[in-house]
Amino acid sequence: QQPVQSPQAVILREGEDAVINCSSSKALYSVHWYRQKHGEAPVFLMILLKGGEQKGHEKISASFNEKKQQSSLYLTASQLSYSGTYFCGTYNYGQNFVFGPGTRLSVLP
Amino acid sequence: DGGITQSPKYLFRKEGQNVTLSCEQNLNHDAMYWYRQDPGQGLRLIYYSQIVNDFQKGDIAEGYSVSREKKESFPLTVTSAQKNPTAFYLCASSKGDSSDEQYFGPGTRLTVT
């Protein structure tokens, strides 16, 4: 079951903040976040695990609400380099890893 | 430098021909994955392998085949049975646990006419 991401797209000015959400209809074991720039491969940002453990880049902030089966990625003081498409990927119990449809982020000067 | 290589970057084939996409990693990772990405869309899992000589179907395996004879290599064959093979194909690897990040190769853009 593919996770749902919101918003589908967001436009920011440099320095502004954004939140990208990822939700699943099934219980989650872990949530992964990746960023992909046009024509390039996705790059790992963060993993959030059931139980509260997190792995990822220090400058990236995210949360994982196990009860609500949701995760949010927080982008603060955005820079031009933050532009790209953000994907969450989820491991549900007994199922394959599946990516969400993506959130397209554009940061303008 | 450790990483994942995919070749070629661009591939053109005629309809009805099988084509094999290469994926090699020197990260000593146990797990490897193949994804398909269509324009403006997310990544869909084709096949994955957690150990040599074993692999499992992903969500869109029909028309594709794989092999995992060596830990470093996970080639994908797009067969003539795949109805719409034109897409961007990404290979990834990880240490193998669901708590481990996936490292992606640069991708192969396949065009079938």
Q: Mean of the pLDDT values across residues A64-79?
A: 93
Q: Both tokens of residue B33?
A: 């994955």
- Average pLDDT, whole number, for chain B? 94
Q: Both tokens of residue A8?
A: 């589908």
> What tens digit of pLDDT does each residue of B51-80 get?
999 999 999 999 999 999 999 999 999 998
- pLDDT over 90 percentage in chain A: 72
Task: Give the pLDDT of residue A95.
Answer: 77
Instruction: Name, in order, each residue with C-beta under 8 angstroms of B108's C-beta and a sequence gap of 6 or more.
Output: B6, B7, B8, B9, B10, B11, B21, B22, B88, B89
Task: Tell me how far apart the alpha carbons of residues A42 and B102 are, in angstroms, rounded to a whole number.
Answer: 9
Task: Tell me how far apart the alpha carbons of residues A7 and A5 are, in angstroms, rounded to a whole number.
Answer: 6
Q: Which residues of B touch A64 (CB under 8 A)?
A: none
Q: Which residues of B touch A100 (CB under 8 A)?
A: 42
Helices within A17-57 (DSSP H only) = none
Nearest residue in chain A measured CA to CA from B96: A97
Task: Give the pLDDT of residue A59.
Answer: 76
Of the partner residues A2, A32, A98, the one whose CB lies closest to the CB of residue B101? A32
The answer to whether B42 contacts A96, with C-beta atoms less than 8 Å apart, is no
